[in-house]
Structure 1
């Protein structure tokens, strides 16, 4: 499934949730479905911001990915485990958006990702921005990371939906 189709699938799922379901937190330390969506959207825009930064660079970066970054891209995605960032990087996502707000934000993200999909292959692959865990990524890698991150959260979506029953 293409990354755009994946995002459209996530967006379509939003129509199935009530506001109460979107904001439902089953227990402390577990996100609501709405928080998961907020996280996905915010992080995707951060990745696309870094992609855009790659287009403005004039110096080539000889450094590459970390060992984990190499493995991530070789495998085409995150390992099937829960990943918890350090507390200082792990503030809870917003749980206040309405379903309509999340749909609008997903539409904006889909539009932005689509815009870059046709351009990303023409950006100098040696113009890179550093990711804290994966090393130096070029525009194509930042673009691909959006889809990898969404796919990684498919399991979380299933888990959060199971709490709603």
Structure 2
């Protein structure tokens, strides 16, 4: 059962990250840098955010794969709802001057390389261990404890959540 569930989640992750990889071909670096309106992220900043957050999440997933610690800990009730729905809430999360905190990517090749590296790292990690044996959990800063499989699902949900933002940016920019 765990193997099949892990395969399903891994396939979803691969499909979602591949969609982000393939979408890069649709944009020039100038388009990636163009914010749809003042104070909002450009698509390049969305890519940077996805890469930065997913790198952190991959590290947490790998730690959970290879530890037995915190197996009895639970995720936050809000996280349970997200996981049950297999989706982030459909809402725009805005912070103060968010566009200032996320750097623009230097070039498309660096974005592509980062996404491919993340995809490869995740797949290699799942090839090294039987998911049924991965019982440990690591702490998410706001949503409490996730198992390795939950981290993988969280990564996919997070990237998929940003497709909504990408769609809004595309509509404003006419791309």
Given the alignment, which residue of 20, 27, 38 partners 2:37? 27
Is 1:147 the counterpart of 2:156 in the alignment? yes
SS in structure 1 of the partner of residue 151 of structure 2 = helix
**2:82 matched residue in structure 1:** 72
Extract structure 1 runs of 4+ deviating beyond 4 A. Answer: 87-91
Given the alignment, which residue of 120, 123, 133 partners 1:114? 123
Offset of residue 88 of structure 1: 10
Q: Unaligned regions of 5+ residues in structure 1, if any? A: none
SS in structure 1 of the partner of residue 139 of structure 2 = strand
**1:135 matched residue in structure 2:** 144
Is 1:47 the counterpart of 2:57 in the alignment? yes
**2:28 matched residue in structure 1:** 18
Residues 42-98 of structure 1, C-alpha deviation per residue, up to 9 Å, x if partnerless? 11111110112224434344220111011111111101111236x599962220321
CA RMSD after TM alignment: 2.2
Offset of residue 28 of structure 1: 2.4
Offset of residue 123 of structure 1: 4.2
Determine which structure has the larger helix proportion and give its number: 2
Q: How far apart, in 1, do the equivalents of 2:160 and 2:106 lie?
A: 22
CA 1:148–1:25 in structure 2 vs 1: closer, same or farther (change >3 Å)? same
Q: How far apart, in 2, do the equivalents of 1:148 and 1:120 lie?
A: 22
Is the contact between residue 69 and residue 133 of structure 1 (CA under 8 Å) also seen in structure 2? no
Q: How far apart, in 2, do the equivalents of 1:145 and 1:5 lie?
A: 14
